[in-house]
Amino acid sequence: MTVAPAPTLLAARIDAVLAGFVDGQRLLWPDDDLRPMLDTVRRFILTGGKRLRPAFCYWAWRGVAAPEERGEDQAAVTAGAALELFHCFALIHDDIIDAGSRRRGQASMHEEFAAAHARHGWRGDARSFGRNTALLCGDLCAMWAEELLTGCPTAPVRLAQAQRLFAVMRAEAVAGEYLEVVAQAMGDFGDGARQRAARVVQLKTARYSVVRPLQIGAVLAGASDAVLDGLAAFGEPLGEAFQLRDDVLGVFGDPARTGKSVLDDLRQAKPTTLLAEAFARGDVRSRAVLSAHVGDPALDEAGAARVRAVLAESGALAAVEERIAAARAEALRALEFLDVAEESRQALGALADFVASRSV
């Protein structure tokens, strides 16, 4: 009988693996000029972050592992840390793409580098410099994620399975992001908008943030195909709830708690289900408000308040909340039928509740 780690203990172990790995990498680079890059990346990796993907990975692993294996959980922790490093890559590049100003309660990485450029009085455009250096820091995180996963202490055949799922996950994340960028550029909140938003949600969040982390943990414990399918049945709706909650928080959240701006999504006209629902349900007057403000890069708090009113009055917000509740219920039903250890079922259930109802 082994004792299951509490969530904060798991996060601390993930952080310890990440810190050890990054410090090992830093030793390889004596160059003075590289230090700001490595310091910035280290701080970004270790500051904030809910460590949700590692938690999904870990609890799926533990749910499948035989009781006598549960004490040797370093493979699951390592894979979780690799997922977190990959997530840092995704956040850094996403923030460049969205021109996001805040992340995890701090200036986003490209903003931080841009500020350093201005502080030094260097030549050229500070914003380009910020974007370019952050781009490279993101590239570094993606590469480190691969490297960390490759060193995962497990049987080669299980590692190969995890690597295959990791590769699929990476491609899904990039494809989802591309579809979002294109949908945003098309600026079309017409008939195809809800369908497009749903596909982005599936690839960018459901698969990337929930289903694949669960399955990666599970294959590291030698899961059967039936369990992998069961994890998908749990993870797909839960991932949808995750993203829809994110969309709601991106407009109605408390920046002091989410660490993110509450204007960026609207300024960027993010092709979310929430906005697609509002365009589909709103009357002529509501649509005029949306068209005037959504996608306006200079949108202020007063304009955002008008948009929020339309989102609420049109029934879009209620429809999304209903969908979140339904998706959460669907996930929990699938969890009941899942062939995993009881402590993991409980942990995954608690994660599902958190993901669907969180305010951070």
Query: What gap in Å lies between CA 44 and CA 46, rounded to an integer?
Result: 6
Among 2, 132, 291, 346, binds a second copy (CB under 8 A): 132
Contact call for residue 115 and a second copy (CB under 8 A): no
Compute how many other C-beta atoms are within 10 angstroms of the C-beta atom of residue 31: 8
Among 122, 255, 339, 357, binds a second copy (CB under 8 A): 122
Contact call for residue 33 and a second copy (CB under 8 A): yes
Query: What gap in Å lies between CA 53 and CA 61, rounded to an integer?
Result: 12
Give every CB contact of residue 32 below 8 A, 6+ residues apart in sequence: none
Contact call for residue 146 and a second copy (CB under 8 A): yes
Closest by CA to 139, choosing from 151, 147, 127, 149, is 147
H helices of 151-224, in order, are 156-186, 193-200, 212-220
Phi-psi group of 253: left, alpha or beta (phi > 0 → left; psi -120 to 50 → alpha; rest → beta): beta
Contact call for residue 285 and a second copy (CB under 8 A): no
Among 179, 266, 327, 356, binds a second copy (CB under 8 A): 179
Count, residues near a second copy per rule CB under 8 A: 53
Contact call for residue 93 and a second copy (CB under 8 A): yes
Q: What angle do CA 201, 197, 88 make, to 5 degrees?
A: 40
Amino acid in position 52: L
Among 150, 224, 357, 359, binds a second copy (CB under 8 A): 150
Among 14, 183, 304, 351, binds a second copy (CB under 8 A): 183
Contact call for residue 269 and a second copy (CB under 8 A): yes
Least spacing, CB of residue 128 vs a second copy, in Å: 8
> Can you say whether the dihedral through the CA atoms of 360, 130, 177, 46 is positive or negative?
negative
Among 6, 12, 23, 29, binds a second copy (CB under 8 A): 29
Contact call for residue 28 and a second copy (CB under 8 A): yes
Query: What gap in Å lies between CA 95 and CA 91, rounded to an integer?
Result: 6
Contact call for residue 39 and a second copy (CB under 8 A): no
Among 79, 91, 96, 219, binds a second copy (CB under 8 A): 96
Beta-sheet pairing, 102-103 with 106-107 = antiparallel
The contact pattern for a second copy, residues 317-336, with x = CB under 8 A and - = no contact, is --------------------
Contact call for residue 133 and a second copy (CB under 8 A): yes
> Can you say whether the dihedral through the CA atoms of 52, 162, 237, 332 is positive or negative?
negative
Which one, 58 or 89, has the nearer CB to a second copy?
Answer: 89
Contact call for residue 345 and a second copy (CB under 8 A): no
Could you tell me if 271 and 193 are in contact, meaning their C-beta atoms sit under 8 angstroms apart? yes
Contact call for residue 257 and a second copy (CB under 8 A): no
Contact call for residue 26 and a second copy (CB under 8 A): no
Query: What gap in Å lies between CA 223 and CA 218, rounded to an integer?
Result: 5
Contact call for residue 167 and a second copy (CB under 8 A): yes
Closest by CA to 131, choosing from 179, 170, 99, 105, is 99
* Contact residues: a second copy, CB under 8 A: 25, 28-29, 31, 33-34, 37, 93, 96-97, 99, 117, 120, 122-124, 128-129, 131-133, 135-136, 139-140, 142-144, 146-147, 150, 156, 160, 163, 167, 170-171, 174-175, 177-179, 181-187, 196, 199, 269, 295
